[in-house]
Chain A
Amino acid sequence: MQRLTNTAELKVLRDNLLQAQDPHRPIVRVCRGPGCLAVGADKVSQAFQSAIQSQNLEVKVQPLVKDTGCHGFCSQGPLVNLAPANLCYVRVKPEDVEEIVQTTLVKGAVVERLLYSDNGTRYKSAADIPFYRMQQKIILQNIGVIDPLDIHDAIMAGAYHSLAKALIEMSPDDVIRTVEISGLRGRGGGGFPTGYKWKRTVENARENPGPVYIIANGEEGDPGAFMDRAIMEGDPHAVIEGMAIGAYAMGVNQGFLYVRHEYPIAIRHLAAAIAQARALGLLGKNILGAGFDFDLQINRGAGAYVCGEETAIIASLEGRVGEPVTRPPYPSQQGLWGRPTVINNVETWANVPHIIDHGAQWYADLGAPRSTGTKIFSLVGKVKNTGLVEVPMGISLGALVEEIGGGVPGQGRFKAVQTGGPSGGIIPYELKEEFTDYHFHPPDVKPADKMELSVDFDSMAQTGSIMGGGGMIVMDDHDCVVDLARYFLRFLEEESCGKCLPCRLGLKGMLEFLNNFSQGKGAPADIDALESLGKALVDGSLCGLGRTAPNPVLTSIRYFRDEYLAHIVDHHCPAGVCRDLITYRIDPEICNGCTLCAQTCPQVCITGANQQLHTIDQDACIRCGACMDVCPVDAVVVD
């Protein structure tokens, strides 16, 4: 690759690449997001490669197969998009590839059976599918389109164009002002204004001259959230470009990408992207001849949720245990090696190039007034269309779950949404009460309308939850809130660093309360005690992990106290989840006597002859659910 020595050369390169492209050349885009990989997308991609390379392919132009990042519609994977015909095939199996090649690539016809269909309607292109139609893709626009391992593909899609613009048209202060006016707030969950953070850091560095560092936080630890993963895997150059622009604005020469070690593909793609950007002179010394030096280094996380906290990331980068330290001093004052440091989430950095390209006002007009722009959510759980969606902030929760998500599948009833991961809350679909003032919120923000809860930073905070990283887990009436609250406490108890007492002992203590509840033990007064303990953790803990850890418990008590009481007073789990309060039974009407359950039961407590009704010995049953999992006719029911 030829090193680019000025911004004009970048434009020439892009123009040449675009001109060299044959607009009629068929492109097969195979999604390699985590969801599609789990159902065999790599085999689909290989099948395309070998089918196209085979000698008897009768096409004028050799089609191009691209392995791309996540297309978003995970529940329909593996997904394949074909250009220029603009077709979207869903649930593609390696066996289907030959037919796609012969029918679509050779004859130009459509394989009808592989199109997405819903309620009798077949959708040819992705843009028409309701799941995609209501989205507004800005950060995701190149993800699923470009080949993340090819910088030329990214440059054709516009990568590094904003960096060039910033370098020649804008002063560093202009960049900071633009980001500030855009209203961009941190996408990691806190929602801190990004431009303000940058400004403070630059001011601190002026008072105390020396190096400044920037860090991208890719330790995406919230369970049920995979937005950052999709960005790093599908469009790594967006993060690199955003960081380079930030580095220019703040006079930074060294940046760090802190990536979760469970994301090996993201690490590989980022490493490749950095190497290619360096070769083109988009990273390193004298970037695009503008006299500005900036380079990036990847640091892998080592398996600690708390390292999503910014002071813990710094400790980890310095080679120490990820124990947070108290703020102030903030990282913008004394961060990595005691120097002013800016830590932004991966998605936040990926927003920056778009703001520089289209301007602050364009961005400020997107979304809601105090929560500008778009936000990526991972919509998962008991919802029909699961996957990754990008929507303008301020969209109503109902629209997100009902229209994009397509509602709850099967017979279930939509019960609640869990947002913000272990730091967030469990929000009922229909909020049962007026908002209380437990959480501080600015006086000029009115509590959101009860039915039309808007998805933005401030409205979510008013419910007692937080918007968080963007995980949105839908629960139906077969999900127990006591069990879910208990799940999060167990998660956090394992992930607490153990430095401060309220978090280390408090999470264990809260879990003891909930373990009792899930066994039907305890008294109604214990619910109040648990609430009081939760508030002690909110006030007393050192870092964000402990201060937000009680949120799932506090919100579930606030909105679903009845369900807690059902466990404690009636010794009954209404959702049929809590193991000590349920029994498994075989429905005599349905059981066909296949003996599978009896063979599987680890307690050997299911009896019944072949072709005869089976029964469970309740005294010996440990309620492991193995019988329910294997029953081919769903005869095992929970009471």
Chain B
Amino acid sequence: MSSSENPQNQVISFTIDGQPVQARPGWTILETARHYRIHIPTLCFHPALKPWGSCRLCVVEARYGKRGKVMPSCLNPPIEELEVFTDSERVLNVRRWVLEMLLAGCPASREIKKLAAAYGVTSTRFAVTDPEEECLRCGRCVAVCNEVVGVQALTFGSRGVKKVLETPYRVPNNACIGCGCCVSVCPTGALQKRLDTVRGDLSRRTGHGYAH
């Protein structure tokens, strides 16, 4: 969210889990919580990237008057007098189900097992399709390559359950400059194993987007 949302450059006072907090102009609920060291779990959020909102682990319940709404804290700025709850029943319901599904979706990831265990989720009722899978399609690697590195060497192909991280025609992409940013932002380390499917022939590097 841009700072134009809080035009008067005023801090916004609201509460998180009953604790009064103040958000500086432009802060999201998540940024405010982090400032006050209130823990909200995240997977797709990265401070260097635009919030994307794909993992939905950072959801919180925001109540204003009688109305309550579950929303991702990484994308939403607070408003005055908002009451935010980081572990209400509705929030935990979303979080536990997402984690249980991730245990089946990324069964090889130690990070996800650890996170799930913290919420009491240790087994999954869902079918495991690939026991080696670690990628949760959070989009951090795609975003860092687009927004920060600026070479757009990798992308998502297909959609829905078939969505997969890949390069065009699934051949190594010579646009890749081998900077390794995608590997460093990956929350589960999934990209480390598949870097060679993205990175093209180093000897064929041209000036396009590469170390000007």
Contact = CB atoms under 8 A, between A and B. Distances in A.
Interface in A487-533: 493-502, 504-509, 512, 529, 532-533
Contacts of A493: 160-161
Contact of A504 (B67, B76, B137): B137
Given A326-B72, A535-B93, A540-B98, A501 B55 contact: yes
Contacts of A540: 56, 59, 70, 94, 97-98
Contacts of A448: none
Contacts of B137: 498, 504
A504 B163 contact: yes
Given A500-B56, A501-B55, A539 B90 contact: yes
A533 B101 CA distance: 10
A140 B160 CA distance: 37
B40 to A, nearest CB: 14
Interface centre among A325, A496, A502, A506 (most CB of B within 10 A): A502
Contacts of B93: 532, 535-536, 539
Contacts of A541: 56
B82 to A, nearest CB: 14
Given A494-B160, A512-B126, A502 B94 contact: yes
Given A500-B53, A505-B105, A533 B97 contact: yes
B136 interface: yes
Given A440-B67, A501-B56, A542-B53, A536 B94 contact: yes
A535 B158 CA distance: 27
Nearest to A533: B97
Nearest to A306: B159
B75 interface: yes
Contact of B54 (A499, A529, A532, A535): A499
Interface string B136-161: 11010000000000000000101111
Contacts of B105: 505
Interface of B (DSSP majority class): mixed
Contacts of B127: 512
A500 B125 contact: no
B159 A497 contact: yes
Contacts of A497: 159-160, 163
A496 B55 CA distance: 15
Interface string A55-92: 00000000000000000000000000000000000000
B102 interface: yes
B14 to A, nearest CB: 17
Interface string B52-83: 01111101000000010010100110000000
Contacts of B59: 539-540
Interface in A426-470: 440
A626 interface: no
B158 to A, nearest CB: 8
A617 B91 CA distance: 52
Given A509-B126, A540-B56, A501 B161 contact: no
Given A509-B101, A539-B93, A540-B70, A502 B56 contact: yes
Given A496-B161, A512-B126, A539-B93, A505 B98 contact: yes
Contacts of B125: 509, 512, 529
Contact of A501 (B75, B102, B162): B102
- In which size bucket is the chain A interface? 20 to 34
Given A512-B126, A539-B70, A542-B53, A506 B97 contact: yes
Interface in A208-235: none
B190 to A, nearest CB: 15
- Chain B interface size, as a band, is 35 or more
Pick the most buried of A440, A504, A512, A532: most chain B CB atoms within 10 A of its CB.
A504
B98 A326 contact: no
Q: Which of A496, A505, A509 has most chain B Cβ within 10 Å?
A: A505
A631 to B, nearest CB: 37
Contact of B161 (A500, A502, A504, A529): A504
A321 interface: yes
Contacts of B102: 501, 505
Contacts of A440: 67
B101 A506 contact: yes
Nearest to B57: A501
A326 B75 CA distance: 8
Given A505-B101, A505-B102, A496 B160 contact: yes
Interface in B72-130: 72, 75-76, 90-91, 93-94, 96-98, 101-102, 104-105, 125-127
Contacts of A505: 98, 101-102, 104-105, 126, 161
Contact of B97 (A498, A500, A502, A507): A502
B160 A498 contact: yes
A529 B100 CA distance: 12
A499 B55 CA distance: 8
Contacts of A404: none
A494 B67 CA distance: 33
B39 to A, nearest CB: 19
B131 to A, nearest CB: 16
A542 B160 contact: no
A52 B96 CA distance: 71
Interface in B161-179: 161-163
Contacts of A496: 159-161
Nearest to B105: A505
A304 interface: yes
Interface in A590-617: none
Nearest to B139: A499
A496 to B, nearest CB: 4
Most chain A beta carbons < 10 A, residue from B72, B76, B101: B101
Nearest to A526: B125
Contacts of B139: 499
Nearest to B61: A539
Contacts of B156: 321, 498
B101 A498 contact: no
Nearest to B72: A326
Interface of A: 304, 321, 325-326, 440, 493-502, 504-509, 512, 529, 532-533, 535-536, 539-542
7 contacts: A321-B156, A496-B161, A498-B161, A501-B57, A507-B161, A533-B97, A542-B54
Q: Which 9 A-B pairs have the closest CB atoms?
A: A498-B163, A540-B94, A539-B70, A505-B101, A536-B97, A496-B160, A498-B160, A536-B94, A540-B56
Given A326-B76, A498-B137, A498-B160, 12 more contacts: A325-B53, A493-B161, A498-B159, A502-B56, A506-B98, A508-B101, A509-B97, A509-B101, A539-B90, A539-B94, A540-B59, A540-B97
